[in-house]
Amino acid sequence: MTGTIARAVMAAALGVALALACLSLDVYPRLACAFLDAGCPADAPPRGQLPRLTRLSPTEVAQLGKYVALGDSYSSGEGVYDLDRQPLNDGADRCHRATGSYVPTVAQAYRFQGGTAFYACSGATTRQLLSGQYGQPPQITRVDPSTSLVTLSIGGNDAGFTKVLTSCIVKLPWSTACVDQDQAVARRIQELGPNLLKVLKEIRVRAPNARVIVLGYPRPFPENPTETYDNLSPADQRWLNTMTRRLNDLVGSVAADFDRAIAAFGAPGSVEYVDAYESFTGHEVGEPQPFLNGLNVDMEDLTVNARSYHPTGDGYRRFAGLITDQIAAGPGRPMNNFRLTPPDPGATRVPAAPPGAGRPR
């Protein structure tokens, strides 16, 4: 205590002397700092270091925890499921999860610290994603706070595309039964919006820091078809393309609105939409090297194989490329996920420059 008082008296006396000598005003603070170890100028860093916040890149955010793959047949691997010799994991035989899906490829392309959970299920609707199928736990239960990346394709079954396509194929060749479904399909697509929003909200609640990548559907037929294929006239094919575009636009709009809300609050995580509509261009059904299976009928049982109008191995590899590219690119805005770097306990204060250092003489 006595030493502190003495130092204060010395500093005051020094200040008076300096003032009488009319010395530069910046000399006093430096000497006061030296005597009192207080009031040090800004160019002298504090002892040690403060913790630092570092903004994470999109790729870093995705890899921090677990990768969870949800969705319908376009994610499960329906189009190549019958090539697998044994089920991929629990429930895969009912959900037709396949090693040829894009999910295992994405899982190998990046090192996810929490591993990968692959639970997309063929036939899933938005409601079933939340409630479960075939006696299996709901897909949504696989998402938890450790999840850093979610991929998802959903909506086609809500729109009833399988039944729509079947009705188009089995119609009489001269019938308009295919395009006559327009109003019913458009209504179901519009009704998808609130249900998709509910799915995204539930994912967000369970994994508030995660990136969510929503994958759209590819155009099934050439942009300007000229020939009938699988009893589908060029007009039928154009209409089915239009319905796919309409579905994608709805899904993309919901995802974009959700992400804008996340960004507006400066919150971590994201919801990103990957528009796959043009991704199979030149490889649609009817082209020489299609990325989608055409109609496949088992003539003995007179049943349609489930892989019909689902991606081939090449199609799923194309999807994998879209997803891996999106992981690297991010949502097109800065991520609000940060890493806190603790201070270095061994760091010391850099000594202040001596009085008058660097000043012209």
The model's pTM is: 0.80
Q: Does the annotation count 175 as an active-site position? A: no
What element of type H or E holds 184?
helix 182-206
pLDDT band at 87 (very low <50, low <70, confident <90, very high): low
250-291 confidence digits (pLDDT tens): 999 999 999 999 999 999 999 999 999 999 999 999 999 999
pLDDT of residue 89: 73
Are 58 and 6 found together in one domain? no
Are 25 and 137 found together in one domain? no
Are 162 and 184 found together in one domain? yes
Average pLDDT, the chain: 85
Active-site residue, from 96, 101, 279, 310: 310
Are 22 and 135 found together in one domain? no
The helix/strand/coil state of 336 is coil
300-348 confidence digits (pLDDT tens): 655 677 888 999 999 999 999 999 999 999 999 999 999 988 876 665 5
pLDDT band at 88 (very low <50, low <70, confident <90, very high): confident
pLDDT of residue 5: 46
What's the mean pLDDT in 201-214?
A: 98
The helix/strand/coil state of 340 is strand
Least confident of 43-52, 187-196, 334-343: 43-52
Q: Would 325 be classed as within a structural domain?
A: yes
CA–CA distances in Å: residue 138 to residues 124, 156, 207, 245: 10, 18, 16, 28
Q: Does the annotation count 96 as an active-site position? A: no
pLDDT band at 90 (very low <50, low <70, confident <90, very high): confident
pLDDT of residue 60: 97
What's the mean pLDDT in 227-251?
A: 95
Active-site residue, from 24, 73, 175, 308: 73
CB 349 within 8 A of CB 330: no
Q: Which two tokens stand for residue 277?
A: 């509509």
State how far the Cα of 321 lies from the Cα of 341, in Å rounded to an integer. Answer: 33
Are 106 and 36 found together in one domain? no
Are 74 and 123 found together in one domain? yes
Domain extent at residue 323: 54-341
Q: Would 346 be classed as within a structural domain?
A: no
pLDDT band at 9 (very low <50, low <70, confident <90, very high): very low
Q: Would 96 be classed as within a structural domain?
A: yes
Are 63 and 178 found together in one domain? yes
Q: Would 355 be classed as within a structural domain?
A: no
Instruction: Give the chain's domain count.
Output: 2
Q: Would 132 be classed as within a structural domain?
A: yes
Are 35 and 136 found together in one domain? no
What's the mean pLDDT in 146-175?
A: 91
Are 179 and 228 found together in one domain? yes
State how far the Cα of 44 lies from the Cα of 349, in Å rounded to an integer. Answer: 7
What's the mean pLDDT in 107-126?
A: 96
State how far the Cα of 215 lies from the Cα of 145, in Å rounded to an integer. Answer: 22
pLDDT of residue 35: 43
Q: Would 297 be classed as within a structural domain?
A: yes
Nearest to 147 by CA among 89, 205, 201: 205
What's the mean pLDDT in 159-180?
A: 87
Q: Does pLDDT of 350 surpass 70?
A: no
Query: Pick the residue with more confidence: 230 or 201?
Result: 201
Residue 331 CB burial class (10 angstroms; 0-12, 13-18, ≥19): buried
Are 14 and 61 found together in one domain? no
13-45 confidence digits (pLDDT tens): 444 444 444 444 444 445 444 544 444 555 555
Q: Would 316 be classed as within a structural domain?
A: yes
pLDDT of residue 92: 79
pLDDT of residue 33: 47
Q: Does pLDDT of 152 surpass 80?
A: yes
Question: What's the CATH code of the domain at 130?
Answer: 3.40.50.1110
Are 244 and 328 found together in one domain? yes
What's the mean pLDDT in 193-201?
A: 98
Residue 311 per-residue DSSP state: B
Are 153 and 113 found together in one domain? yes
State how far the Cα of 355 lies from the Cα of 157, in Å rounded to an integer. Answer: 76
122-142 confidence digits (pLDDT tens): 999 999 999 999 988 999 999
CB 280 within 8 A of CB 318: yes
Q: Would 286 be classed as within a structural domain?
A: yes
First to last CA, the chain: 40
pLDDT of residue 199: 98
